[in-house]
Each structure stands twice: as structure tokens, then as C-alpha cells.
Structure 1
Amino acid sequence: MKKLAYAVVFAALVVGCSQKATVETPKVVEQTPSFNVNTQEDANSRLQRINSSLQSVYFDFDKYDIRSDMYGVISNNAGLLNNDGKDFNIVVEGNCDEWGSEEYNQALGLKRAKAVKDALETQGVSNSRIVVKSYGENNPVCSEKTKDCDAQNRRAETKVQF
């Protein structure tokens, strides 16, 4: 009886093991070519695009309070800085026309930059990202001796950087 049991087990093993397992042929997978993307270059392009989109805030003669017609500029700049520019640091640069002493214009430029910084903060831009500086009268965009030219120089410019 034992022999019969061993024979049955042996036969079951031989029959079970004699069947070949079916193995599927591996499928050829086409690989998409990988590109070595330079993220620094992408960040530089984004930095330039954001800086070209940011608008200057203009001020009245001898003033550093934000004019009512500049609130839209502040709002647009803040939206850009909070979204597409959220990975960058911000510099607000205060500028003046040539009227007044260099020391006075340096201080006025700083007050203008701080006023824009405060306005951006009220729009949700983190103050830890913002640095202010003043160029006083030393960074004019216009050098003609006209009122319109002077008005262009009374400004604060917002820029992003790494």
C-alpha cells in the first residue's frame, strides 16, 4: 500500500512538473528621450519675464505716500509676486528727481521704497522677502529738464532676484 501511495505521489509530481510554464515574451517599450533641462536657465527666463511685467509706482513732487491711481499697480505687482514670483526675493528701489540735496533725495527715495514695501505687505507679500534701497537722484530714467521728465524719475521700482 505504501508503494502505491508513493507511486501516486510520484506520478502527480511528474505530471505536475512536466507542464511547462508559459512565459510571455517581454514587450518592447519605447522610451521617450530624456532632456537635460537646466532649471537655472528656466529660472533666469522666468526672472526676466517677471521683472519686465512689474510696473513702477510713481509719486508726486516731494511726497512718499502712494497716490490713489497707483493702487492698481501695487495690486497687480503683488499678484505677480505672490504667484509666479513666489520663489524669488524682492527689491524695492526708491528714486527721486534732481530737486533737493543728495542727502534729502536719498532719504526720500528710501521712504518711497518703504511705502511700496508696506503696500505690498498689505496685499499678502511676505515682508521677509522684501529689501528696500534708495538711489536718490542717482538713477534717473530721464535726463531732460522738463516736468514730465522729473515725474518719471519720482518712482519706486520693484524687482525680483535670486
Structure 2
Amino acid sequence: MEDELNRYCGIDWAEDHHDIAIVDAGGTLIAKKRISDDLAGFTELTRLLTEAGDTAEEPIPIVSVTFRRIKNDRLAAVGWVWAASMVMNSGPAQQHYRQRRQRGDRHAPAVRHLFNKMLGQLYHCLQTRQVYDSAKAFGPLIEPEPTTAA
């Protein structure tokens, strides 16, 4: 029963304002407010915390979100491995990579472009409830024209 009384405060920190959310242990929203980045905003934060049950004996834990890059770094790391493995296998993804290279992209930008394209296609599949099909995602394979020796 004690967990039901717990409260948590999250602050999404920005340059000129901060978004505050106080929730209980079950995730139910207790309070939500955008405050200014000044004394008035800090006063409003302390008022919200007090109303939610914050005391010196049992303070409400506060988590501040100031930088979201970690998720982007994780996604980029996974994407690099995923796209690089697609380049090693024959098929539309490898052809897409090779076309990017022929257009002048170096290896890293070509892999990054491939990952962005694959991620966009998977997002489309989720939104439209379609099964991923690389032929639809990248189009049909185009055989390179043979080069003739002069």
C-alpha cells in the first residue's frame, strides 16, 4: 500500500521554460504545468510539490531531463550495425549503398543514408500495418550495365 502514496516529479528542462509532471507510483498524473525559468517558476514548482505531498521528511524525488542525445546515440549505434550488415548481403539494400557510393558518398554517409531509408520504410510498415518487403522498400534490382573494354 505504501507504493501507492509515492510521488515522482519529472522536469523537462528547456532554455526559457520547464515542463513539470508529478505522477504517482502507478503513473497517474497528479500535476502538470509549464513554469518559467525564473523565481516565479521556482516558486510555482515548490507549490506544486507541496500540494502533491512533498515534505522535508518525505521529499518527492525529482528527475530532470536536460539532454536527450543518449537515445539518439543508441539508435545510431544499432543503425550502423544493421545497415552495415545489409551492405554485406546482396540485394536491394546493397544496391542502394553502391548507388550512393557511385554518386560520390563516402562509406559512412552511404551507410547512414541506407539506415535512414530502412528506418523510414519500417516506420511506414508500422503505420500502414504492412509486412516489410525489401523490393517495395528499395524498388526492383537494377542490374548494372556491363562495361566494354575499348
TM-score, with structure 2 as normaliser: 0.25
Between Structure 1 and Structure 2, whose CA radius of gyration is higher? 1
User: Which protein, 1 or 2, shows the higher relative CO under an 8 Å CA cutoff with sep ≥ 6?
Assistant: 1
TM-score, with structure 1 as normaliser: 0.23
